């Protein structure tokens, strides 16, 4: 290879701390492949441009052979031009005492602008990952603002939650995390998400068994396990006084790499995708996290998994929150 055309990858919120943990992995080839040259486009708001210059210096100083060019900018027409991939990390963070509604309103404005910029400047084949919260609804707004880019090209990050769930089960059983597969995150990337182990498989020191059998503690799996995964972001902030940037960056890499190269045979991952005519009774026109398998850069929802009453209630609860979020956001979009 060696002579592959470079791809253009945008990271927004590029002066922020998630990006700081993310950019090196992308530029070194961990995400798009070891022989895929990259043009890295870094977008942030104007006051952050001096910080962005420092990030550019450091990327230069990493002396990475795949990194052909780094373009720092505060202009969408530069940032979104001819993109192959867009990782939308930047969003309005929740300030102390801020109403959820106000947060939503500010983010609708941001993601409407970015969706319109994707529509106007990016390739129609661009793969868009939304990370900035509220990620599911931000992703929906961006996709609605870019009508000529297929809805399937938009996804939002629930891989961090997926990785958290996988790791919690692995620690509990006492096996490496890659011995646990097929956990599921259903719904919203919020504290209503439903981490589901009913279909998980654990390789328990050479013996394959169900997640429930391997853990052998149903009350934990239906109780503390769920709340630990749901509240993990807040727990990290409480401990570090900063949000979980290292693990978020790792999850972004996992998510994009799986889109690019596909999921391993017999394994699925969780991502927030556009809900339309699924077999799980999830309302249409939401970005909702499902188990998906990916091949040729195209995801398919894993169909036909049995859903018990416990799961049904949790899946419906997080869907209700997403419907309410969407409906509120759409009133701002119309305005």
Share of the chain above pLDDT 90, in %: 93
Dig out the tokens for 17 from the structure: 């701390």
pLDDT greater than 70 at residue 48: yes
Rounded mean pLDDT of 145-172? 98
**Tell me: domain 158-326, CATH 3.40.50.2000, correct?**
no
The model's pLDDT over 159-181, given as tens digits with 9 standing for 90+, comes to: 999 999 999 999 999 999 999 99
Is it the case that residue 335 has pLDDT exceeding 80?
no
Q: Which CATH class is domain 7-156?
A: alpha beta
**DSSP codes joined into one string, 307-334:** --HHHHHHHHHHHHHHHHHHHHHHHHHH
Give start-end residues of each CATH 3.40.50.720 domain in the chain: 7-156
Positive or negative, the CA dihedral 269, 118, 58, 70 is positive
Helix (H) or strand (E) holding 101: helix 100-121
Which pLDDT score, from 0 to 100, does residue 2 have?
A: 52
* Numbered ranges of CATH 3.90.110.10 in the chain: 158-326
> Among 6, 9, 5, which residue's Cα sits nearest to residue 84?
9
Tallying the residues shown for the chain, one arrives at 335
Binding-site residue ranges = 44, 94, 100, 107, 131-133, 164
Give this prediction's pTM: 0.97
How many angstroms separate the CA atoms of 234 and 167, rounded? 17
Q: CA torsion, points 75, 271, 92, 239, in degrees to nearest 10?
A: -130
Mean residue pLDDT of the chain comes to: 96
Instruction: Give binding residues for NAD(+) as ranges.
Output: 44, 107, 131-133
Q: What's the maximum distance between 2 C-alpha atoms anywhere in the chain?
A: 58
Q: Which residues are annotated as a binding site for substrate?
A: 94, 100, 133, 164
218 SS3 class: helix
Task: Give me the active site residues, please.
Answer: 189
Contact 256, 31 (CB under 8 A): yes
């Amino acid at each position: 290879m060696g002579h592959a055309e470079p791809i253009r990858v945008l990271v927004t919120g590029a002066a922020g701390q998630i990006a700081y943990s993310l950019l090196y992995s992308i530029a070194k080839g961990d995400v798009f492949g070891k022989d895929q040259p990259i043009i890295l486009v870094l977008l942030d708001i104007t006051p952050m441009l001096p910080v962005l210059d420092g990030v550019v210096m450091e990327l230069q100083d990493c002396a990475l052979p795949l990194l052909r060019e780094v373009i720092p900018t505060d202009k969408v027409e530069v940032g979104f031009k001819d993109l192959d991939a867009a990782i939308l990390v930047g969003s309005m963070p929740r300030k102390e005492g801020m109403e959820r509604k106000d947060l939503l309103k500010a983010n609708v404005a941001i993601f409407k602008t970015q969706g319109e910029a994707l529509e106007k400047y990016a390739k129609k084949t661009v793969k868009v990952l939304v990370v900035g919260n509220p990620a599911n609804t931000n992703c929906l707004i961006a996709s609605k603002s870019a009508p000529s880019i297929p809805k399937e090209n938009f996804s939002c990050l629930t891989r961090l939650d997926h990785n958290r769930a996988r790791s919690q089960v692995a620690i509990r059983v006492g096996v490496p995390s890659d011995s646990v597969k097929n956990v599921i995150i259903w719904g919203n990337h919020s504290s209503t998400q439903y981490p589901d182990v009913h279909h998980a498989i654990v390789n328990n020191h050479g013996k394959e068994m169900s997640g429930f059998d391997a853990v052998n503690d149903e009350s934990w799996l239906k109780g503390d396990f769920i709340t630990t995964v749901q509240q993990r972001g807040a727990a990290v902030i409480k401990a570090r006084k900063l949000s979980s940037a290292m693990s978020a960056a790792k999850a972004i890499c996992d998510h994009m790499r799986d889109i690019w190269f596909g999921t391993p045979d017999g394994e699925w991952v969780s991502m927030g995708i556009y809900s339309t005519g699924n077999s799980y009774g999830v309302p249409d026109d939401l970005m909702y996290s499902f188990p998906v398998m990916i091949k040729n850069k195209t995801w398919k929802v894993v169909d036909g998994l049995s859903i018990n009453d416990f799961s049904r209630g949790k899946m419906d609860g997080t869907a209700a929150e997403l419907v309410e979020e969407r409906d509120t956001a759409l009133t701002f979009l119309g305005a």
